[in-house]
């Protein structure tokens, strides 16, 4: 499988790239600067602008799937997620890549009412603007003809993969109790598996291991 990756220099993105390469897949990492990724077999690094649809479409051509793990280092999104997902969606449609997976967060959009009271307070606090920005972009993705998948991890940790990991269909969840956590390693593993399978096409997965 050839995977086009955005956010490859982030913590979760780095784990995803490691897993993909270890399994023999080809990875095209689309980054702002090439200096953060060491040369590796089957890894191609493309430097470009995530808001440039022409550059993205050219770079992702011939990929089997697009996986975005883009994140923000600021509490002020300034529409970044909405713009990025809108451009990624347009580029995928233009380049003929049907499979697009986006790592978002539990608490975004329709998932907020399914969080516990305590979690809702957390999500509605400092991250409210970021979550609203993510939700706006995801509406564009869902309205497309792409085989999209949204991944909604709960509170992320740097722990090892857990045998208690679960991927739950958002539509089937009534309420997720407490403030659950999930390892970035499990999230990366899920995204790689889902990229090569149609099981999660046009569905939103909540990724958790509980407390």
Q: Could you tell me the pTM of the whole model?
A: 0.95
3-class SS string, 147-188: EEEEEEECEEECCCCCCCCEEEEHHHCCCECCCCEEEHHHHH
**What is the C-alpha separation between 150 and 142, in angstroms, rounded?**
9
Whole-angstrom CA distances from 129 to 6, 56, 184, 200, 208 are 22, 26, 23, 27, 23
Q: Do 77 and 105 contact (CB within 8 A), yes or no?
A: no
Kindly give the confidence (pLDDT) of every residue in the chain, 211 residues in length, as a single tens digit, with 9 standing for 90 and above. 999 999 999 999 999 999 999 999 999 999 998 778 989 999 999 999 999 999 999 999 999 999 999 987 666 778 889 999 999 999 999 999 999 999 999 999 999 999 999 888 887 776 788 899 999 999 999 999 999 999 999 999 999 999 999 999 999 999 999 999 999 999 999 999 999 999 999 999 999 997 5
Of the candidates 132, 151, 32, 116, the one whose C-alpha atom is nearest the C-alpha of residue 75 is 132
């Amino acid at each position: 499988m050839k995977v086009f990756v955005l956010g490859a220099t982030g913590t979760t993105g780095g784990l995803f790239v490691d897993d993909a390469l270890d399994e023999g897949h080809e990875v095209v990492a689309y980054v702002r600067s090439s200096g953060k990724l060491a040369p590796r077999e089957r890894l191609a690094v493309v430097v470009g602008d995530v808001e440039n649809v022409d550059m993205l479409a050219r770079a992702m051509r011939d990929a089997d799937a697009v996986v975005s793990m883009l994140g923000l280092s600021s509490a002020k999104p300034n529409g970044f997620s909405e713009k990025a997902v809108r451009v990624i969606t347009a580029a995928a449609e233009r380049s003929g890549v049907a499979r697009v997976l986006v790592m978002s967060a539990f608490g975004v959009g329709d998932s907020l009412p399914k969080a516990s009271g305590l979690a809702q307070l957390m999500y509605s606090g400092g991250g409210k603007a970021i979550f609203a920005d993510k939700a706006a972009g995801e509406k564009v993705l869902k309205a497309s003809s792409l085989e999209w998948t949204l991944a909604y991890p709960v509170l992320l940790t740097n722990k090892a993969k857990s045998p208690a990991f679960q991927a739950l269909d958002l539509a089937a969840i009534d309420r997720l109790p407490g403030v659950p956590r999930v390892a970035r390693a499990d999230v990366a593993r899920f995204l790689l598996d889902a990229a090569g399978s149609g099981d999660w096409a046009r569905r939103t997965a909540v990724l958790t291991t509980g407390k």
